[in-house]
Amino acid sequence: MFTMESISEMYDRLGTKYLEDIENAAPPEVHAFMRLIPKGGSVLDVGCAGGRDSKIFVDNGFDLTGVDISEVFLKEASKKIPEGKFLKADVLELPFPDEFFDAVWANAILLHVSKDDIPKALQSVRRVLKREGKLHIRVKEGEGSKEIEETLKNAGEVKRPFTLFQKEELERFVQDAGFTLLSSERLPDDMGRTDVTWLKIWAEKPAT
């Protein structure tokens, strides 16, 4: 259900029409998150899509690297943000040195990772974070894994597989991976969908 190839093919197929649908739905907490990061610090945007959130970091002076598994999305991100660095990579095997980034922005990416692989994904993220580096996670609230159908303005009818989480469950995953929780919240949907609730966690890699 959740393979790099199947998710990549799905988003390559949805393409720029999907990017148009999400263009104005950047999480509003991004500006508060930036205040946790050293000025001009290095940020990894995991699952950067077309660079919507990446551009916000770049515009605020951060050194931005974006990764995604969709070639279409990476092409659009590179065009949109020439000063950013974008490459194809899977969150399970991030191709960067240990303790490389000041922050990781993992927005709506763990939705496309199977429950069994969540610990591996979080360890991958933890490895590339510097000590005291900050982590942002957003996922959808719910139970188990399922395919969800919705109709988007530009992309039309879309069926996508999601891993869904309960708040305490997500907190446990993050803490078990060795992070310190900074905050944990339930949030409304930024696209106005009344049937979608988001879970947002901010965490820190310990200093020792």
Contact 104, 46 (CB under 8 A): yes
What does pTM read for this prediction?
0.92
H or E element that contains 95: none
Question: What one-letter code names the amino acid at 21?
Answer: D
Is residue 155 very low, low, confident or very high in pLDDT (cuts 50, 70, 90)? low
Backbone angles phi, psi at 199, to 5 degrees: -110, 130
What confidence score (pLDDT) does residue 2 get? 63
pLDDT at 145 over 70: yes
Question: Looking at per-residue confidence, does 153 or 203 come out higher?
Answer: 203
Q: Where do the domains of the chain lie, and which CATH numbers do they carry?
A: 4-204 (3.40.50.150)
H or E, element range at 148: strand 145-152
One-letter amino acid at 117 equals D
> Please, which pLDDT band fits residue 142 given cuts at 50, 70 and 90?
very high
What local confidence, expressed as pLDDT, does residue 17 receive? Answer: 82
CA–centroid distance for 86 within its chain: 14
Beta bridge partners of 103: 43, 134
The predicted-structure confidence for 72-108, as pLDDT tens digits, reads as follows: 999 999 999 999 999 999 999 999 999 999 999 999 9
Q: For residue 160, name the pLDDT band (cuts at 50, 70, 90).
A: confident
Kindly state the tokens that stand for 126. 């933890």
Integer Cα distance of 136 and 203 in angstroms: 7
- Which segments of 25-139 does DSSP mark as H helices, in order? 30-34, 52-59, 71-80, 118-128
